[in-house]
């Protein structure tokens, strides 16, 4: 497996982006002052649990969590990361709207 070298500082400041890259199959060698201190790579497919499916009758919080702002990533993978962020926000909005519709019908 090919590991991209990344400094600890860069990994810390871009943690969400690094994790998103790992989820896409990339691997990183994290360094401190030029010395390797850790390796970060995707978990085996069987070890990654699937998110639980929401049942139609599941109760939902009347106050959903606030949406995180969409940030503008840099680099070639920026568009894919931006699309993933927008898709995540849309999913959250749709779940809030469906919960509101279910509450209004009662």
Domain boundaries, the chain: 1-45, 59-106
Q: What is the mean pLDDT of residues 41-67?
A: 64
Whole-angstrom distance, CA of residue 99 vs CA of residue 102: 5
**What pLDDT, in 10s, does the model give residues 6-40?**
999 999 999 999 999 999 999 999 999 999 999 99
Whole-angstrom distance, CA of residue 18 vs CA of residue 31: 14
| Global model pTM greater than 0.95 | no
For residue 79, pLDDT beyond 70:
no
Q: What is the mean pLDDT of the chain?
A: 75
| Helices 78-104 and 15-23, packing angle to 10 deg | 90
**What pLDDT, in 10s, does the model give residues 47-57?**
656 666 665 55
CATH superfamily, region 1-45: YefM-like domain (3.40.1620.10)
For residue 45, pLDDT beyond 60:
yes
34 compared with 98, residue with greater pLDDT: 34
């Amino acid at each position: 497996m090919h590991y991209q070298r990344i400094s600890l500082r860069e990994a810390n400041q871009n943690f969400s982006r690094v994790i998103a890259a790992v989820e896409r199959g990339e691997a990183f060698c994290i360094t401190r002052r030029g010395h390797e201190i850790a390796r970060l790579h995707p978990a085996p497919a069987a070890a990654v649990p699937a998110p639980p499916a929401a049942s139609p009758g599941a109760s939902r919080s009347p106050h959903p969590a606030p949406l995180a702002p969409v940030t503008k990533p840099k680099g070639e993978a920026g568009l894919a990361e931006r699309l993933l962020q927008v898709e995540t926000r849309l999913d959250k909005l749709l779940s809030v709207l469906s919960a509101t519709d279910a509450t209004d019908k009662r």
